[in-house]
């Protein structure tokens, strides 16, 4: 476990921002990286083991909770967990009904999955930054351990690219290839003259393709940036615990205040990602 007592501030921050990385070493063999430099040198084929691990664990938690409630659901005297799950489902359903104007039974389950899964990932930001890395270090399992998957752009881009693929799929399915290409080439500039209309095609395509490609980028970076910044603040606050009794008290109070505020941030970011997903899928179903 890397402690702020044994490392410099820079080393401590770097350690907590380094993923447990598996990939190819310079000699060709695959294995875990034992330093930030080794992790960076692994390149494209590197895998962030901790991000995948916690993503799968939290996905399993989500499925276990909702499946357990579904198996024991009752209309007579529902318990608190069932009421909570039903409240989440009603909340998602209201947002889908308000934002999605077409008919597609796939959208609401997708929105529910994204909201709950991303919320659980974001919630890991409230776990003390040293706790889980310390447990994995003292047990000899892993030297590095980032426990907030949404602070990894690979995870957030994975979500956004999946939504982007769905958007393209439904755009082609609903409008056809011709309709989809027409949206990219025949607007916003239009003309009745065939020659001018043809001249407008590359201009329209450039303007529209920028807007289309910017969607997954902004979708992922918004989530990543907010959670990465929040995690960084927690790490910086934790440095205060090695600066004497006064700073320990001050750091503890500051950490509590930031954690309370961060509850709003992690919920809001999961909600925004879900809302944008619904909006993008609604756009894919609309004819211009």
Q: What is the pLDDT of residues 110-164, one digit of tens each?
A: 999 999 999 999 999 999 888 888 898 888 888 899 999 999 999 999 999 999 9
Mean pLDDT of all residues in 39-61: 93
How confident is the model at residue 288, as a pLDDT?
Answer: 66
Confidence of residue 59 (pLDDT cuts 50, 70, 90): very high
Q: Which of these is catalytic: 218, 220, 238, 242?
A: 218
Does 1 score more than 60 pLDDT?
A: no
Q: How far apart are CA 286 and CA 5, in angstroms?
A: 58
Does 44 score more than 60 pLDDT?
A: yes
Q: How far apart are CA 19 and CA 204, in angstroms?
A: 42
How confident is the model at residue 170, as a pLDDT?
Answer: 95
**Which position has the token pair 């700073």?**
247
33: which 2 tokens? 């990286």
How confident is the model at residue 3, as a pLDDT?
Answer: 47
| Inter-residue contact 39 to 48 (CB < 8 Å) | no
pLDDT above 70 covers what percent of the chain?
A: 98
Active site residue 14: no
DSSP character string of 157-210:
HHHHHHHHHHHHHHHHHHHHHHHHHHHHHS-SS--SSHHHHHHHHHHHHHHHHH
Does 191 score more than 50 pLDDT?
A: yes
Active site residue 226: yes
Active site residue 97: no
Does 258 score more than 60 pLDDT?
A: yes
Q: Which of these is catalytic: 51, 55, 226, 238?
A: 226
89-105 per-position pLDDT tens digit: 999 999 999 999 989 99
Does 2 score more than 50 pLDDT?
A: no
Q: How far apart are CA 18 and CA 41, in angstroms?
A: 13
Q: Which of these is catalytic: 35, 162, 222, 242?
A: 222
Does 255 score more than 90 pLDDT?
A: no
How confident is the model at residue 229, as a pLDDT?
Answer: 93
Q: What is the pTM of this model?
A: 0.90
Q: 24: helix, coil or strand?
A: strand
User: Which region, left, alpha or beta, applies to residue 19 given φ > 0 means left and ψ of -120 to 50 means alpha?
Assistant: beta
| Inter-residue contact 91 to 157 (CB < 8 Å) | no
Q: 254: helix, coil or strand?
A: helix
Listed by start position, the domains of the chain span 9-285
**CA 36 centroid distance within chain:** 23
> How high is the mean pLDDT of the chain?
90
Q: How far apart are CA 223 and CA 188, in angstroms?
A: 30
């Amino acid at each position: 476990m890397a402690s702020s007592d044994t490392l410099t501030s820079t080393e401590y921050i770097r350690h907590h921002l380094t993923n447990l990385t598996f990939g190819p070493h310079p000699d060709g063999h695959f294995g875990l990286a034992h330093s930030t430099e080794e992790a960076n040198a692994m390149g494209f084929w590197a895998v962030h083991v901790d991000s995948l691990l916690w993503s799968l664990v939290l996905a399993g938690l989500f499925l276990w909770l909702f499946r357990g409630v579904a198996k024991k659901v009752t209309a007579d005297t529902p318990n608190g967990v069932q009421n909570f799950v039903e409240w989440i489902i009603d909340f998602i359903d209201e947002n889908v009904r308000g934002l999605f104007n077409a008919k597609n039974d796939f959208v609401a389950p997708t929105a529910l999955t994204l909201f709950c899964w991303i919320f659980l990932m974001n919630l890991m930001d409230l776990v003390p930054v040293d706790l889980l890395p310390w447990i994995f270090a003292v047990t000899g399992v892993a030297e590095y351990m980032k426990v907030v998957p949404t602070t990894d752009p690979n995870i957030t881009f994975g979500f956004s690219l999946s939504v982007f693929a769905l958007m393209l799929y439904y755009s082609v399915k609903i409008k056809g290839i011709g309709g989809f290409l027409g949206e990219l080439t025949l607007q916003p500039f239009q003309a009745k003259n065939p020659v001018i209309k043809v001249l407008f095609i590359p201009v329209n395509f450039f303007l529209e393709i920028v807007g289309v490609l910017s969607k997954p980028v902004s979708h992922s970076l918004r989530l990543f940036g907010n959670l990465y910044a929040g995690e960084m603040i927690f790490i910086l606050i934790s440095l205060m615990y090695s600066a004497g009794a006064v700073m320990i008290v001050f750091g503890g109070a500051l950490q509590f205040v930031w954690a309370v505020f961060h509850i709003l941030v992690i919920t809001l970011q999961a909600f925004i990602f879900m809302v944008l997903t619904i909006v993008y899928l609604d756009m894919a179903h609309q004819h211009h």
